[in-house]
Chain A
Amino acid sequence: MRDTLYIPLRPWPTLGVVAALALLPLAAATLGQPFYVVFATRVLIYALIATSLNLLIGYGGMVSFGHAAFVGAGAYAVAMLMPAGVASAWLLWPAALLAGAGFAFLVGAVSLRTRGVYFIMITLAFAQMAYYLVLSLRVLGSDDGLTLSNRPSLGLVDLNRDTTFYYAALAILLAALAGMRVLLNAPLGRALQGIRDNETRMEAIGFATYRLKLLVFVIAGAAAGLGGGLLVSLNGLVGPNLLNWTQSGLLMIMVILGGAGRLLGGALGAVLLLVVEEAIAEHTIHWPLVIGVVLLAVVLFAPQGLSGLMRRRA
């Protein structure tokens, strides 16, 4: 029986990639470039965030232009709880997740009543609202943001060591990807993709499309919130720019670069964008120009993104 939506697990390539990622800190240490571990951790976190957006855009057809707000919700949750005395990552990261989920619930409940362009616009507007809120609240540090003196603690392992943090982020990303695969292969995932392709017909065969979309929107918001919590834990600082609409735009770029509607699309796009950015930012202050040109070329000539290109070759 043919199963067009099923996402198979390819054990050997998966193992290979995971092994390579696991060895990366070792390689960085050997090369005498420990800075790369922190950079790679940032990439992993953005991979998580972009993956959550891919769930919305690529699988749910929900073109959310405000995803950075959920990242911000998680980041500020951690940045506010830590000075209040909460030090354990076991509490802080779930709190970030809940903050993202909670805010996504509010935004989604209103936004998902609209469709098409209106949905794009209203998610953008909600994110701007959050941005200006953060910017004007002195308890959130206004435009300076908040800084943390320490990283959260994670029981036995010490997150203040960059390598440890890297592995924690890697574990979370892998768990998120595995979870997303399970979700997409489950009936909920089939329903989600049905809604993406023909929402009206899905309603006409009995699906509560609004509720399903809201559920997925909240799941994606939770993952983005967790990503935000991880980012602030890593960097020790957060500012309103994390919520700026250009951040939402960059996350969308990651999704389209990597391949919307492919399990690894978000992760691939995050790697691609951040690595390219890192590589050219050294050479020119005009690196956004390069990103812009690449993005334009992808939209016009390779709308399936990197995964699409690789698939065509294969």
Chain B
Amino acid sequence: MTMLRVGGLQKHFGGVLAVDDVDLELAEGELHAVIGPNGAGKTTLIHLLSGALKADAGVIVLDGRDVTRLAMHRRVRLGLARSYQITSVFPNITVLENLALAVQGASGRDDRDRARTELGAVGLGARADDLAGALAHGERRRLELGLALATGARLLLLDEPMAGMGPEEAARIVDLLSALKRKRTILLVEHDMDAVFRLADRITTLVDGRVIASGAPEEIRRHPEVRRAYLGEEAPQ
């Protein structure tokens, strides 16, 4: 079953083609990584898929339904949620209230029990009653992820969930994502290559807004253009 099909997606900012004729297909339950150097257009791609930005051209089909023109919140209700590269949580309310808000957003109901379950899933059970603004960086990144999870979305678009994390925190996210794998379909943008090659079923490489390669991890590892553009000497930071 195809969960997400993207065809001919395009977006430019002034003269910059940030996303250039991108095709993409995600099967249900697949964990699909998108890699590429800084400025490749990965975040813009997520903006387009989630509905934060309107595409200049192309189609986005979710579960057989054309969502290209749907507003962001409508896509969430259809089961597509995203996380942000730059943490965007609600700092003035508690961690649990953050997740309850996400539950409410997608379902319409303020269901604290479900929020508590989601809290456990991202390992923040002990911080339920602390203000989100008081969390450490790693915890805040997990809350960021938790907000997307708590919408109950079947398709998650995750924008660098491990950004700025130390190895231990990053390992927690890898465990978390492994546990999610198969239960949800995931499009993962990430710079941590160890994580990407451990987790991904398939990998798409984006350079200057264009897909230069797409395939199984082994193919991508060997792909000459990818090595030249990205994996080679210039190891990702």
Contacts and interface: CB of A to CB of B under 8 A. Distances in A.
Nearest to A187: B110
B104 interface: yes
Given A187-B109, A200-B88, A206 B77 contact: yes
Nearest to B88: A201
Given A198-B88, A201-B147, A5 B104 contact: no
Contact of A187 (B91, B104, B148): B104
Interface in A180-198: 187, 190-191, 194, 197-198
A1 interface: yes
Given A190-B110, A194-B90, A194-B101, A204 B96 contact: no
A201 B89 contact: yes
A300 interface: no
A209 B73 contact: yes
Interface residues of A, number: 21
A115 to B, nearest CB: 14
A206 B110 CA distance: 13
A3 interface: yes
Given A4-B131, A191-B101, A208 B94 contact: no
Contact of A204 (B81, B94, B100): B81
B97 interface: yes
A203 B71 contact: yes
Contacts of B128: 1
Contacts of B81: 204-206
Contact of A3 (B90, B97, B131, B147): B97
A204 B101 contact: no
Contacts of B109: 187
Interface string B163-192: 000000000000000000000000000000
Contact of A5 (B72, B82, B97, B106): B97
B133 to A, nearest CB: 11
Nearest to B132: A4
A206 B104 CA distance: 8
Contact of B76 (A2, A187, A197, A204): A204
Interface range on chain B (Cβ under 8 Å from partner) = 35 or more
B107 to A, nearest CB: 8
Nearest to A209: B73
Contacts of B76: 203-206
A206 B129 contact: no
Interface in A1-51: 1-5
A287 interface: no
A85 to B, nearest CB: 45
Contact of A205 (B74, B94, B101): B101
A181 to B, nearest CB: 16
Contacts, number: 83
B2 interface: no
B52 to A, nearest CB: 7
A120 interface: no
A207 interface: yes
Interface in A211-260: none
Interface string B66-81: 0000011110110001
Which of A4, A5, A202, A209 has most chain B Cβ within 10 Å? A4
Nearest to B82: A204
Nearest to A212: B73
A197 B72 CA distance: 18
Contacts of B216: none
B93 interface: yes
Nearest to B92: A197
B10 interface: no
Contacts of A208: 71, 73-74
A5 B93 contact: yes
B50 interface: yes
Contacts of A200: 52, 88
Given A4-B97, A187-B109, A187-B110, A204 B50 contact: yes
The 9 closest A-B pairs by CB, nearest first: A206-B105, A206-B76, A205-B105, A206-B106, A2-B129, A205-B102, A187-B110, A203-B72, A207-B105
Interface of A: 1-5, 187, 190-191, 194, 197-198, 200-209
Interface of B: 50, 52, 71-74, 76-77, 81-82, 84, 88-94, 96-97, 100-102, 104-106, 108-110, 112, 128-129, 131, 147-148, 150-151
Given A197-B90, A202-B101, A203-B73, 14 more contacts: A1-B96, A5-B93, A190-B100, A190-B101, A190-B110, A198-B89, A200-B52, A201-B90, A203-B72, A204-B50, A204-B52, A205-B101, A206-B77, A209-B73
26 contacts: A1-B96, A1-B112, A4-B94, A4-B97, A4-B131, A187-B104, A187-B108, A190-B101, A197-B92, A198-B89, A201-B88, A202-B101, A203-B71, A203-B73, A204-B76, A204-B84, A204-B88, A205-B76, A205-B81, A205-B151, A206-B76, A206-B102, A206-B105, A206-B106, A206-B151, A208-B74
